[in-house]
Amino acid sequence: MSSPATTVGNVASDFANAILGIFDALAQALQQYAPILVEVAITVGLVSGLGYALSRIPMVRRFLGWIGL
């Protein structure tokens, strides 16, 4: 029969391995989808920046107000 300290150590080791497994799975998924995520982030940044810049133009602001935005 194993001592209580050994049992606690085994449980802690199993828990740590489970946590490391989760992070490993996340790292693999991120590595697989990183190029797509970067492209999406760049596209969203460009579109939102362009939208903000256009919304600062008075004629565009009047049009946006006219259509209810």
CB-based contacts of 60, cutoff 8 Å, min separation 6: 54
Q: What is the pTM of this model?
A: 0.49
DSSP string, 25-54: HHHHHHHHHHHHHHHHHHHHHHHHHHHHHH
State the CB neighbour count (10 A cutoff) for residue 18. Answer: 9
Q: Note whether 58 and 52 are within 8 A (CB).
A: no
SS3 content of the chain, % helix, strand, coil (to 5): 90, 0, 10
pLDDT band at 1 (very low <50, low <70, confident <90, very high): low
User: Tell me: the pLDDT tens digits for 29-66?
Assistant: 889 888 898 999 999 999 999 988 888 889 988 888 88
